[in-house]
Each structure stands twice: as structure tokens, then as C-alpha cells.
């Protein structure tokens, strides 16, 4: 199978094959990939887990998100739609979530708990269709939907141009540290298609040794 338009199901083989092509295509990215040799992405099989993790990670560092998530997981004894829906906002806030994030997380849990809801249908939808449906749920914006596409649905060609980590890495490596417009970032990333998800993950790791996992 080809990677374009499909999920990365054969990790690590397909991921590593894509990384090898990216390294040949882009000398800057080649150095980044080689520095991360032997390190692998971790995908999430649970749709709610992936979305919840992304909500926790919105607009905070990877390290801070990991700390909040560990407190949340320890306090609740697991993060599932049923458990979160039954948990008061005060308990969620005590784990380190803001009031708004507590509301978002509870709302998504309620969405998953609806009778007849089946997250598996997203597997057969296009990237655009998944994004359109997800951003209709309160608390889920485009960035969160893109993290879901990368880490749960394993889509290989997602470029989250609003991600601050990606913006910083590209500006440092490709523009001497000067800020880039989103359009300029997209232009640089054209050489990475159809594996922009893989390129993005390696660029995140260039900035932070803690793996980005949503």
C-alpha cells in the first residue's frame, strides 16, 4: 500500500520508510531525523483518549501537559468517557485543568457517551470530513482535530500550521530564527508531502526531547 491517503498501519516499517524518503529529499530535515534515530512515534488506539489528551495539551508545554495528564489519570483511575462525564468540574480543575478545559473535557465525554455514537466511522472519512465534524464539538478546534488525525487516525500528511512548536522549529531551522508566515511555512512543507505528519513529529522532537503524544 502507499502512504498517501491511507493510515500508517504498519509502524514502524511505513513510518521509517517515509522518514528515509524525507531525509533524502530535505538536507535540513535529514539532520533532524538522524539525530532522532531509533525513536518512534506512539499512536493511540482509543479515540476518546487521544482527544482528551489533546485538550489537556492545548496551549501548554509538553512537560506541563504530561504532569496534568498524570494527575488526571491518577485521580480518576483512568480517563474514559463514562468516568469523566461523572466527575465534577472541581475535581478536574484540581488536577490542573482550567475551568474552560474542564468544561471541554466533560462535554466531549458526554458526546462519546451518547447512545449509538461510534467513533470508528472516522476511520473511513477524509481528513477534511473528520476536521469538519470534530470542530463542531465544543472545545475542539482545528489544532486538536489535527492532533487526532495524526495520533489516532494515523494520517500521514497533516501539517498543523498553527502549532507553536512546529512554527518555532521551522523558523529556527529554515529561517535563521526569524518568524515565518503560515503561507511561508506551507511553502517549505511542500517538499515533505505526502508525509508532513512525519516531518512535523521529527521537528517537534528537535525542540523537545519529551515525545509529543496525543
Distance CA 174, CA 28 (A): 8
Give the CA dihedral 167, 168, 172, 175, nearest 10 degrees. Answer: 30
- Whether residue 179 contacts residue 140, with contact meaning beta carbons closer than 8 Å, is answered with no
Note the pLDDT of residue 12: 61
Note the pLDDT of residue 9: 45
Cell 487516525, located at residue: 153
- Whether residue 76 contacts residue 104, with contact meaning beta carbons closer than 8 Å, is answered with no
C-alpha cell at 192: 515533505
Note the pLDDT of residue 61: 83
- Whether residue 185 contacts residue 161, with contact meaning beta carbons closer than 8 Å, is answered with yes
123 φ/ψ sector (left φ>0, alpha ψ -120 to 50, else beta): alpha
Q: Tens of pLDDT along 35-94?
A: 988 777 888 889 999 999 989 988 888 888 889 999 999 999 989 999 999 999 999 999
Give the global pTM. Answer: 0.88
How would residue 13 be classed by pLDDT, with cut points 50, 70 and 90? confident
Nearest to 105 by CA among 129, 86, 131, 126: 86
Domain locations in the chain as residue ranges: 13-41+158-207, 47-151
Say what percent of the chain tops pLDDT 90.
Answer: 74
Q: Establish whether domains 13-41+158-207 and 47-151 are of one fold.
A: no
How would residue 15 be classed by pLDDT, with cut points 50, 70 and 90? confident
Q: What is the homologous superfamily of the domain 47-151 according to CATH?
A: Hypothetical protein; domain 2 (1.10.340.30)
Q: Which helix (H) or strand (E) holds 212?
A: none
> What's the rounded mean pLDDT across residues 118-145?
94
13-41+158-207, which class in CATH?
Answer: mainly alpha
Distance CA 142, CA 136 (A): 10
**pLDDT(6) > 70:** no
Q: Tens of pLDDT along 158-186?
A: 999 999 999 999 999 999 999 999 999 99
- 195 by Cβ neighbours in 10 Å (0-12 / 13-18 / 19+) ranks as buried
Measured in whole angstroms, the distance separating CA 19 from the mean position of its chain's CA atoms is 18
**pLDDT(138) > 70:** yes
Note the pLDDT of residue 3: 37
- Whether residue 185 contacts residue 9, with contact meaning beta carbons closer than 8 Å, is answered with no
Amino acid at each position: 500500500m502507499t502512504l498517501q491517503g491511507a493510515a500508517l498501519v504498519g509502524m514502524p516499517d511505513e513510518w521509517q520508510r517515509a522518514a528515509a524518503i524525507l531525509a533524502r529529499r530535505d538536507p535540513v530535515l535529514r539532520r533532524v531525523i538522524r539525530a532522532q534515530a531509533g525513536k518512534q512515534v506512539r499512536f493511540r488506539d482509543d479515540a476518546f483518549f487521544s482527544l482528551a489528551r489533546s485538550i489537556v495539551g492545548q496551549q501548554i508545554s509538553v512537560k506541563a501537559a504530561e504532569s496534568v495528564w498524570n494527575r488526571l489519570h491518577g485521580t480518576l483511575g483512568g480517563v474514559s468517557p463514562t468516568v469523566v462525564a461523572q466527575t465534577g468540574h472541581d475535581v478536574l480543575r484540581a488536577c490542573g485543568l482550567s475551568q474552560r478545559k474542564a468544561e471541554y473535557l466533560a462535554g466531549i465525554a458526554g458526546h462519546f457517551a451518547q447512545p449509538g455514537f461510534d467513533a470508528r466511522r472516522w476511520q473511513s472519512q477524509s481528513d477534511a470530513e473528520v476536521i469538519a465534524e470534530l470542530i463542531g464539538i465544543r472545545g475542539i478546534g482545528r489544532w486538536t482535530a489535527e492532533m487526532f488525525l495524526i495520533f489516532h487516525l494515523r494520517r500521514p500528511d497533516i501539517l498543523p500550521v498553527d502549532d507553536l512548536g512546529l512554527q518555532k522549529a521551522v523558523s529556527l531551522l529554515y529561517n535563521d530564527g526569524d518568524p515565518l508566515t503560515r503561507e511561508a511555512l506551507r511553502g517549505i512543507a511542500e517538499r515533505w508531502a505526502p508525509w508532513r505528519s512525519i516531518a512535523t513529529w521529527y521537528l517537534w522532537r528537535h525542540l523537545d526531547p519529551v515525545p509529543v503524544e496525543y
